[in-house]
Amino acid sequence: MPAPAGATFAARYPSELEVDALAADGTVVRIRPIRPDDALALVEFHGRLSPETVYLRFFSAHPRLSPREVTRFTVVDYLDRLALVVEADNTLVAIGRYDATGRDGEAEVAFVVADLYHHLGLGTLLLEHLADAARTRGIRSFVADTLAQNGPMLQMFRAAGFRVACHHDDLDLVRVTFPIEATDELVKAVGLRRHTAEQRFIDRL
Ligand X SMILES: CC(C)(COP(=O)(O)OP(=O)(O)OC[C@H]1O[C@@H](n2cnc3c(N)ncnc32)[C@H](O)[C@@H]1OP(=O)(O)O)[C@@H](O)C(=O)NCCC(=O)NCCS
Q: Which DSSP string corresponds to 137-184?
A: TT--EEEEEEETT-HHHHHHHHHTTS--EEE--SSSEEEEEEE----H
Q: Which residues bind ligand X (CB under 6 A)?
A: 24, 53, 56-57, 110-113, 118-124, 144, 146, 150, 152-153, 155-156, 159, 193, 196-197
Q: Residue 7 or residue 165: which is nearer to ligand X going by CB?
A: 165
Tell the smallest beta-carbon distance from residue 115 to ligand X (Å).
Answer: 8
* Of 70, 81, 13, 19, the residue nearest 45 (C-alpha): 70
Q: Residue 35 or residue 194: which is nearer to ligand X going by CB?
A: 194
Tell the smallest beta-carbon distance from residue 83 to ligand X (Å).
Answer: 13
Phi/psi of residue 110, each to 5°? -150, 145
Q: Residue 33 or residue 96: which is nearer to ligand X going by CB?
A: 96
Q: Residue 45 or residue 78: which is nearer to ligand X going by CB?
A: 45
Tell the smallest beta-carbon distance from residue 105 to ligand X (Å).
Answer: 20
In degrees to the nearest 10, what's the CA dihedral of 90, 94, 99, 103?
-140
Tell the smallest beta-carbon distance from residue 4 to ligand X (Å).
Answer: 25
Report the C-alpha gap between 116 and 106 in whole angstroms. Answer: 31
Q: Residue 74 or residue 146: which is nearer to ligand X going by CB?
A: 146
203 within 8 A of 26, measured Cβ to Cβ: yes
**Number of residues assigned to the chain:** 205
Tell the smallest beta-carbon distance from residue 34 to ligand X (Å).
Answer: 16
